[in-house]
Amino acid sequence: MPHIEISHPRRDPQTLEAPCGVFMIGSDASNRIVLDDGSVEEAHAVLTLMEDESYIEDLMGAGVFVGGERVGTRRRVFAGTPIQVGNYTLSFGIPAQVAAPSDPPPSPEVFRPRPASRSATASQVVKQQIHAELVQRLDLKRLSMSKLQENELQDKIRRTLSEIIAEIRARLPAGIEPGRLAKDIFDEAVGLGPLEDLLADDSVTEIMVNGPGQIYVERAGKLELTDRNFINDASVHAVIDRIVSPIGRRIDESQPYVDARLADGSRVNAIIHPLSLVGPCITIRKFSKEPFRVQDLVGFGTLTAEVADFLRACVVLRKNIIVSGGTGSGKTTLLNVLSSYLPQTERILTIEDAAELRLTQRHIVRLEARPANIEGRGAVTIRDLVRNALRMRPDRIVVGECRGAEALDMLQAMNTGHEGSLTTIHANSPRDTLARLETMVLMAGMDLPVRAIREQVGSAVHLICQISRFTDGSRKVAKITEVSGLEGDRITLQDLFEFVQTGVGPDGKVLGEIRPTGAVPTFIEEIAVRGIEFDRSIFDTSKLKKGGWGK
């Protein structure tokens, strides 16, 4: 059996059994040969041992020496030739004596096989080698900045990839399909790498990259670990740069996290070292190719046709509505649906951190916040945009999410002639929504007494629509609550509708329905006065006993 000998100036030498194959070398525990030393990079080199010829490749440019000479990119190596990796010296060959079958197998400290199969490891190594060769032959960065059309650049990359794979096809490890290999490397070079197929999969609603080696997705509200991964940290960084650069955002050690969006409006968050200890992370909240309509939400069981009709009447009546809920509960989706009820004749301003709303009305002005530049200047906050929006003659203001001092300006706008505004807030219940609003107003730095704040909230907010994600992954409107004013020092609320869970089905599906509570909104007569078509019987709880409500 071939073996690899490893020596270190201050450590005992090691001898490892090494059958023909591909050996990742580095300080990270995921490598097949782990050299735990500060002189060695996480993924430092790749040693490929074959019967006819063997090669060593320097992955990081940190330095690999063969026979005292530095390896440029890749070099053939022979048995017995010393290979210097950091402070370690490696050499491979055939041992003079083979241990008897009864002898126990060696248990070296530094050799830790990866849990993945050898073909999976070989595939990653081959991708790294071909990608490095592609970059070297084409100088991708220079080509990307040239005046080549996008389709010309992609055709050039595809042709070069085909040439490289054709040259090494006979030496590809078993189990690696050339066509799939070419697609994966092409996606890494000019697209979003392994995320491309996941973004194209309509069943995937969220993508979570936890470092280069782990990608989770959400399907039907449940998390699944995929078999996809990136080549290394640099590949994840490249994908993040492709996402944030076109919209004028940046991410680096001085600004190690960023919010952005894809071309289709999908929300993206990225965070890198030194804040992330597992490597660069990406979270993508996918948007459907076609915006969900109210009929879709009724079909999903998020709400009923009666509740949707009531919300439509409230939007037309110019009631100020807050959609509240937890992370991933569907607040923005519901806000989009509510926004679709806004009249075509009105001037609508949308204000967001990263533009996600997709309204279809004719007269829309979309505003987006801007982060600070590399010098820490030039930031434009949501609060700045809300203040500016008041000077732009809006009929309606739609804020993607209130999360800070802009809440004060929103409340003032709602109280000074800009009724019918819509926004979302992170909160677990309607009562929590009011508490969060008070806290956010105090964040504005105004020394206002609590009673004054509550008076503002009580008169500005008319309706809170609470949406929740349940244990089966479904999103449902849990409560629709009217803010009916201030009594003493307490804002009074009355629930108009609530979701009542009746059990859990054999498949884990949550059973239940959205029911009226019997309370009638204080503005019910306004609906009739405005001539809005509306069935008042939806508040009648007697239908519940007959099984006729919500059908």
Q: CATH 2.60.200.20 occupies which residues in the chain?
A: 3-115
The ranges of the chain annotated as CATH 3.40.50.300 are: 301-546
Task: Pick 548 or 357 by higher pLDDT.
Answer: 357
| Nearest alpha-carbon partner for 354 in 330, 339, 332 | 332
Rounded to a whole number of angstroms, the distance between the first and last alpha carbons of the chain is 73
Confidence of residue 238 (pLDDT cuts 50, 70, 90): confident
CB-side neighbour CA atoms (13 Å) of 266: 23
Q: Which residue in 304, 353, 358, 378 sits closest to 550, CA to CA?
A: 304
Mean pLDDT along residues 390-409: 90
Total length of the chain = 551
Alpha-carbon distance of 481 to 495, in angstroms, equals 4
- pLDDT at position 106, please? 39
Residues 6+ apart with CB under 8 A from 98: 1
Residue closest to 490 by CA, chosen among 438, 543, 415:
438
Question: 75 pLDDT exceeds 80?
Answer: yes
CATH of domain 301-546: 3.40.50.300
Residues 6 or more apart whose CB falls under 8 angstroms from that of 216 comprise 207, 208, 210, 223, 224, 225, 226
Q: Is 102 helix (H, G, I), strand (E, B) or coil?
A: coil
Hunting for tokens 């100036």 — which residue is that? 9
Q: In a 10 Å sphere around its CB, with 0-12 CB exposed, 13-18 middle and 19+ buried, how is residue 157 labelled?
A: buried
Of 73-87, 447-461, 478-492, the poorest mean pLDDT is in 73-87
Q: Calculate the alpha carbon distances from 109 to 32, 154, 399 in Å.
A: 12, 46, 57
Greatest mean pLDDT among 65-79, 88-102, 140-154, 493-507 lies in 493-507
Q: State the Cα–Cα distance between residues 63 and 45, nearest whole angstrom.
A: 9
Per-position DSSP letters for 32-79, written without gaps between them: SEE--STTS-TT-EEEEE-SS-EEEEESSSS-EEETTEE-SSEEEE-T
Quick one: tokens of 165? 């794979």
Reply yes or no on whether the pLDDT at 59 is more than 80: no
Measuring CA to CA, how many Å separate 249 from each of 244, 255, 273, 366, 369? 5, 10, 17, 18, 11
Q: Where in the chain is the domain with CATH 3.30.450.370?
A: 191-289
Spell out where 458-551 has E strands. 463-469, 475-487, 490-504, 510-516
Give the pLDDT confidence score for residue 461 in this predicted structure: 94
pLDDT in tens, 11-23: 888 888 877 777 8
Query: Rounded distance, CA 9 to CA 11, Å?
Result: 6
68-77, 89-98, 195-204: least confident range: 89-98
Which of 77, 76, 37, 39 has the alpha carbon at shortest distance from 60? 39
Closest of 362, 281, 291 to residue 330, by C-alpha? 291
Helix 118-138 with 178-190: angle, nearest 10 deg: 50
- Backbone dihedral angles phi then psi of residue 182, each to the nearest 5 degrees: -65, -40
| Residue 113, pLDDT score | 32
Amino acid at 211: G
CATH class of 191-289: alpha beta
Per the rule left: phi > 0, alpha: psi between -120 and 50, beta: everything else, 488 is: left
Q: Is the torsion defined by CA of 260, 426, 320, 458 positive or negative?
A: negative
Cα 330 from Cα 322, distance rounded (Å): 13
Q: Which fold has domain 3-115?
A: Tumour Suppressor Smad4 (2.60.200)
Q: Which amino acid is at 19?
A: P
Phi/psi for 168 (5° steps) reads -110, 10
| DSSP-derived 3-state class of residue 466 | strand
- pLDDT reading at 302 higher than 70: yes
